[in-house]
Structure 1
Amino acid sequence: MTPPNPRRSPLLLPVVLAATFMSGFDTNVVNIALPAIRGELHAGPAALELVVSGYIFAYAAGLITGGRLGDLYTYRRLFLIGMAGFTVASMLCGLAQSPVELVGARILQGLTAAAMVPQVLATIMANFDAGDRTRALAWFGVTAGASGVVGQVLGGLLISADVAGWGWRTVFFLNLPVGAVMLAVAVRVLPARTLDRRPGLDPVGLIGITAALALALAPLSFGREQGWPLWTWVCLVAAVPCLLAVLAYERRLAAAGGDPLIDLDFFRRRSTVFGILINVAFMATFTSGIFAVTLLLQEGFGLSALHAGLAFAARGALVVPAPMVGRRVIAAHGQARAIVLGCGIDIVTLIGLGVALHGFGGHIWLGWVVIGNALLGFGNMLILPAALGVTVATVEPHQAGSASGVVNTTQQFSGAVGLAVLGTLFFAVAGSGPGRGEYATAVEAVLWVHLVLIVGAAALALRLDRVRTPSVVVAQPGSAQAAQAAVDR
């Protein structure tokens, strides 16, 4: 078993977290840029939808494969390939002269992000010891939360500034200098380490899992805008037997001594299962919440893209310190109680916002929405690092890439499901020709669903606390048995 790297560079964590930031930034910033893209490229609704959904679809569908390739060919190599490809794809997005070119470049962006992002958690797990991993995951939470907020704020500022006459293209060109610098540093600081045990490729599992994810993600990514035609339901139904068949194959492959793409033993630990379920609930609310609040600000309150982005600045002010607070809570009381604290803040805030929206409707004060959105961001960023820590608490080093792919895929898939289901609910409640009152009512409906999901996550965390999970993020290498005993006590 390869031990954590005692000589790692202090720049290692910032470099790998840059990949998390870049992928999250590009997921969110394009929403602010869509009106400008529509005007310049004469893109129709379907093309605009593909600009957003094509990236998410390619990204989510490729994460598990990207994780396994990292296990097989080293995290360093896949990170460098992914970062270089993402930088080139960003340039192609900025140079696009037609909707087709932009959609193609965005899909390439998603695929290259799927190569580099799983290596972030895998590198943290392989190079940081138990205590340092808590700090590293806290910074991971800061980066993940800040990337979405910065995407909203900086995107609005860049488009309004119209730097060099580039307009919306600036949000993509920004990745060029950042990617070039990160590549230059990454070549020097990423450890060229190999695992004692390298898994096989498992081409059947790779193709089967990717196909199952594609069958589920395609309708979730594109179905709502197209009115849920028949093909979306056929794909969703077909995804279930496809996934079951692949999992059965993976189980047989493991029993025969092979290396399945998904190690089903990963799901035998209660902390892992609970952590995944908490991540599912969290991401379903996180993605749909930003979507609903952005629409309320822009369409309900009539704010411009710039002012809507600036309204998220308060959220950013609380998102950044929250994981650091969570780290102290984890050190003192454990991961489960950090999740409970974050859920508690979210529950109180959701109830307060729901009552305010119900009572004031179209006359609600904008400040309530801004403050509530900020408090939800604070609670969310207490939950995220602790939920990640619980999920990967006893992962062996040789499973790091695959486990990272599974966790990231779970988050992206849950976000897609939450956005599809709650987005449909939002527009159904808002109806046609909505004003501020209708949007407020639609957001209220979404928030009550969020409340149910967060209460469920809190209940799981309380259950997790009773089985006494370790307060550290990952077991010390070489002591997997001791860590498992601590989880099962």
Structure 2
Amino acid sequence: MTITAVSDGLSDRQRSFAFATILVAFVMDVVDSTIVNTALPAIQSGLAVSDRVMQWVVSGYFLTFAVLLVVGGRLGDLFGYARMFVIGVVGFTLASLACGMAPDGGTLSAARLAQGAAAAIMAPQGVALIQLLYTPTERIGRLAAFGVIGGLAAIGGPILGGLLIEWSPLGLGWRSVFLINLPFGMLALVAGLTLLPSGRSGHALRPDVPGSLLLFGALGTALLPLIEGRAAGWPWWTIALGVASGGLWWAFWRYERRRRATIGSALIEPSLFAEPRFCIGLSTTAAFAMASAGFLLTLSLTLQRGLGYAPIDVALLHVPFGLGVMAGISQIGRKALPRHGKRVPMIGALVMAAGCLATAIAIWLVLPPGLIGAALLVAGIGMGTLSGPLGPITLAGVDRNHAGVAGATLKTVQQIGGALGTALVATIYFAMIADRSGQGVPTAFLAASGIVAIDLVGLAWLLNFLPDRLFDQRHG
């Protein structure tokens, strides 16, 4: 993909406004992947829906985002980044309105699927527009800002959700966590129409529709039995769908290899998987996304359904967790990675596992909030120390000619991991709860956190297979 920078034609002020526009949309996307966690008990009570519907509300967003992310990038290459950014913002804002006005669980689940799809159209344009706005040297700082702000937004989502439900502006209750997107969406729309430069790829590739459908089928048939199977008593079709999912993943991989060989264009780049660091990085990224999404979802549910915490109390308990994450990303991981290499994320994974288990034990023993917050601080430090290095490690050995598709593949795997994590961990969690009275909730959270810890220990073991020299001279 060839993109020509337009920084010479814009003043620093114009570029700053354009960058701020991109950030507004980016924050909306990241926040909406986590803000719903705090609101789930209120949504469940307000709409009188089952636990499985709540799983779809969370997992559905990840599902369509993951499947359509690369397609969204290709559409920007074909039709222009600013144009597709605006279309994505409009879709995201309308889907947020549909979420906030949903009269029942089915409508809310469908609106969340649409919201994830719109986010997949909107999000990829940001990176491409930064390439238009800045020179290669300038991009380093801007993309680094994305990482820090993204981490803050992800942790800030549950905090914002708790505050909105507590304050209930205009008496909207849980609906405010979705409707808050409307003013920001309108701001991003106006700014996108007036402040963003036009541009598209000089070598645009057609969207891979068959590949996208195969990916959607593979992921959908994996999620469906996980979410629906427990309530249905695990009938034969859950096993059949699991087998079908495996077949569709195989068909997806075979199709992508054949497409790449025949027309030179594929949803993924098969040659990337010849690089061990990329394969290990993708596997650990998926495992981390599963652990973090599953833990954060069940944590918010447990604090409210098991301990009777108000949403504002849940928001406050996320503060030490967020501080720990930011300390791990900005201080520990970033400074220690060049010197200590793979040991940094390995230790981060083990610390996060210990923090998650300590949090679950503190809740199970009904310890004071201060001790729960201390355990969450440890979990956050581990999460930041682990998550910060994963992206650079995964992309360290990638040929720069494939940097764009490698980054898109990494982001897609993150979303797939999030979808599977919320489905798998929540299914185990809900299966252990006797009823909605709160009976058995702390024990269920302890079991779910045990699964998360096992996942993280396996992740640390997998990281051990990375080479000692992560960033060698061949790839700069």
Q: Same fold (TM over 0.5)?
A: yes
Compared with structure 1, are the counterparts of its residues 15 and 407 closer, same or farther at alpha carbon in structure 2 (3 Å cutoff)?
A: farther
Distance 2:350 2:288 in 1: 12
How much has 1:230 moved relative to structure 2? Answer: 3.4
Assess if the C-alpha contact under 8 Å between 1:357 and 1:364 holds in 2.
Answer: no
How much has 1:276 moved relative to structure 2? Answer: 0.7
Q: 2:385 aligns with which of 379, 382, 386?
A: 382
Assess if the C-alpha contact under 8 Å between 1:141 and 1:384 holds in 2.
Answer: no
How much has 1:402 moved relative to structure 2? Answer: 4.0
How much has 1:264 moved relative to structure 2? Answer: 0.8
Assess if the C-alpha contact under 8 Å between 1:221 and 1:416 holds in 2.
Answer: no
Assess if the C-alpha contact under 8 Å between 2:351 and 2:379 holds in 1.
Answer: no
Task: State whether structure 2 residue 169 is matched by structure 1 residue 163.
Answer: yes
Q: 1:183 aligns with which of 182, 186, 189?
A: 189
Which AA in structure 1 matches 2:470? R
- 3-state SS of the aligned residue for 1:201? coil
- 3-state SS of the aligned residue for 1:195? coil
Residue in structure 2 matched with residue 468 of structure 1 by the alignment: 470
User: What does 1:74-113 correspond to in 2, within 5 Å?
Assistant: 74-113=80-119
Distance 1:352 1:41 in 2: 34
Q: 2:419 aligns with which of 393, 399, 416?
A: 416
How much has 1:131 moved relative to structure 2? Answer: 6.0
Compared with structure 1, are the counterparts of its residues 151 and 40 closer, same or farther at alpha carbon in structure 2 (3 Å cutoff)?
A: same
Range that drifts further, 260-269 or 401-410: 401-410
- 3-state SS of the aligned residue for 1:10? helix
User: What does 1:467-486 correspond to in 2, within 5 Å?
Assistant: 467-470=469-472, 485-486=474-475
Deviations 1:311-361 (A, max 9, x none): 11222233345433267427x717x83x64354244235336646866994
Task: State whether structure 2 residue 458 is matched by structure 1 residue 453.
Answer: no
How much has 1:85 moved relative to structure 2? Answer: 0.8
How much has 1:200 moved relative to structure 2? Answer: 2.8
Q: 2:241 aligns with which of 218, 235, 238?
A: 235
Q: 5+ unaligned residues in a row in structure 2: which ranges? A: none
Q: How many residues align?
A: 470
Assess if the C-alpha contact under 8 Å between 1:202 and 1:261 holds in 2.
Answer: yes
- 3-state SS of the aligned residue for 1:302? coil
Compared with structure 1, are the counterparts of its residues 351 and 269 closer, same or farther at alpha carbon in structure 2 (3 Å cutoff)?
A: same
How much has 1:410 moved relative to structure 2? Answer: 0.9
Compared with structure 1, are the counterparts of its residues 286 and 231 closer, same or farther at alpha carbon in structure 2 (3 Å cutoff)?
A: same
How much has 1:178 moved relative to structure 2? Answer: 0.8
Distance 2:180 2:403 in 1: 31
How much has 1:52 moved relative to structure 2? Answer: 3.3
Which AA in structure 1 matches 2:29? S
User: What does 1:157-306 correspond to in 2, within 5 Å?
Assistant: 157-224=163-230, 226-306=232-312
Residue in structure 1 matched with residue 16 of structure 2 by the alignment: 10
User: What does 1:328-339 correspond to in 2, within 5 Å?
Assistant: 328-329=334-335, 333=338, 337=341
Residue in structure 1 matched with residue 70 of structure 2 by the alignment: 64
Which AA in structure 2 matches 1:466? D
Distance 1:100 1:434 in 2: 20
Which AA in structure 1 matches 2:459? A
Compared with structure 1, are the counterparts of its residues 310 and 411 closer, same or farther at alpha carbon in structure 2 (3 Å cutoff)?
A: same
How much has 1:258 moved relative to structure 2? Answer: 3.1
Assess if the C-alpha contact under 8 Å between 1:353 and 1:368 holds in 2.
Answer: no
Deviations 1:143-189 (A, max 9, x none): 33333332222222222222122222222221111112123333455
How much has 1:297 moved relative to structure 2? Answer: 1.8
- 3-state SS of the aligned residue for 1:312? helix
Distance 1:405 1:437 in 2: 43
Which AA in structure 1 matches 2:471? T
RMSD: 3.5
Assess if the C-alpha contact under 8 Å between 1:90 and 1:105 holds in 2.
Answer: yes
Q: 1:373 aligns with which of 376, 398, 403?
A: 376
- 3-state SS of the aligned residue for 1:466? coil
Distance 1:49 1:328 in 2: 34
Q: 5+ unaligned residues in a row in structure 1: which ranges? A: 471-482
Compared with structure 1, are the counterparts of its residues 215 and 352 closer, same or farther at alpha carbon in structure 2 (3 Å cutoff)?
A: closer
Assess if the C-alpha contact under 8 Å between 2:317 and 2:373 holds in 1.
Answer: yes
Distance 2:436 2:363 in 1: 16
How much has 1:221 moved relative to structure 2? Answer: 4.8
Residue in structure 2 matched with residue 475 of structure 1 by the alignment: none
Compared with structure 1, are the counterparts of its residues 304 and 70 closer, same or farther at alpha carbon in structure 2 (3 Å cutoff)?
A: same
Compared with structure 1, are the counterparts of its residues 206 and 38 closer, same or farther at alpha carbon in structure 2 (3 Å cutoff)?
A: closer
Deviations 1:390-438 (A, max 9, x none): 333466777566444422221122122233333344345x452699995
- 3-state SS of the aligned residue for 2:199? coil
How much has 1:36 moved relative to structure 2? Answer: 3.6
Range that drifts further, 311-320 or 216-225: 216-225
Range that drifts further, 437-446 or 163-172: 437-446
**Which one has more relative contact order, counting CA pairs under 8 Å at least 6 apart?**
1
Give the TM-score normalised by the residue count of structure 1: 0.82
How much has 1:265 moved relative to structure 2? Answer: 1.6
Identity %: 31
Which AA in structure 2 matches 1:59? F
Give the TM-score normalised by the residue count of structure 2: 0.84
- 3-state SS of the aligned residue for 1:255? helix
Compared with structure 1, are the counterparts of its residues 39 and 348 closer, same or farther at alpha carbon in structure 2 (3 Å cutoff)?
A: closer
Assess if the C-alpha contact under 8 Å between 2:227 and 2:427 holds in 1.
Answer: no
Compared with structure 1, are the counterparts of its residues 4 and 451 closer, same or farther at alpha carbon in structure 2 (3 Å cutoff)?
A: farther
How much has 1:303 moved relative to structure 2? Answer: 0.9
Which AA in structure 2 matches 1:26? D
User: What does 1:295-444 correspond to in 2, within 5 Å?
Assistant: 295-325=301-331, 328-329=334-335, 333=338, 337=341, 340-348=343-351, 350-351=353-354, 354=357, 361-393=364-396, 399=402, 402-427=405-430, 430-432=432-434, 438-444=440-446
Distance 1:145 1:468 in 2: 23
Which AA in structure 2 matches 1:202? D
Distance 1:133 1:171 in 2: 32
Assess if the C-alpha contact under 8 Å between 2:222 and 2:241 holds in 1.
Answer: yes
